[in-house]
Amino acid sequence: MTPIARTGLLALALAGGMTGLGYASVPLYRAFCQATGFAGTTQKAEAAPGAVLSGKRVSVRFDANHVPSLPWEFAPEKTNEPVILGEREIAFFTAKNLSDKPITGRATFNVTPSQAGKYFNKIQCFCFTEQTLLPGKQVRMPVIFYVDPKIADDPDANDIAEITLSYTFYPVDEAKKPS
């Protein structure tokens, strides 16, 4: 094989590898964030471990937003709640469709400070699925969660007194929905 052909083949392989990496980057980044709590990504859990004997508490603040193009009211029922580390908690958010047609939305979420993300575990959340609201209808949506007691052992997170759980609702693009 000539040096020019070898260089061309190497360039083609590199371009193919970069294209594959580009397609894999979103799921890889999502998996990385889920595993490490990077950028405030919360964890999914099946159940809470139960309160630890120390009884250490942290305050959880709830924040709700929606993009201007989504004609909904969206808010937490309570804006702040003290929680015991390891104890299963439930918080409710309400959403109301202010338009005259059914609208489907999906919530994204974040936890701040970001180092608390890997310790904030959601057992059940409305953010895991799309929400369709009929015209004028209001829905009450639960979030079941716990804060992992291991946060108290992390030198980068053990002094956190307040964690903010923030949601933003976006309209689901009807043209992109699977049929």
Domain of 63: which CATH number? 2.60.370.10
Note whether 131 and 107 are within 8 A (CB).
yes
Residues 1 and 73 in one domain: no
Q: Of 88, 59, 83, 78, give the one whose Cα is nearest residue 160.
A: 59
Number of folded domains that form the chain:
2
Residues 50 and 98 in one domain: yes
Residues 1 and 76 in one domain: no
Check residue 179 and give its pLDDT: 46
Regions of the chain with pLDDT less than 50:
37, 39-40, 175, 177, 179
Residues 15 and 103 in one domain: no
Check residue 11 and give its pLDDT: 82
Residues 73 and 159 in one domain: yes
- The SS3 call for residue 69 is coil
Range of the domain at 160: 39-176
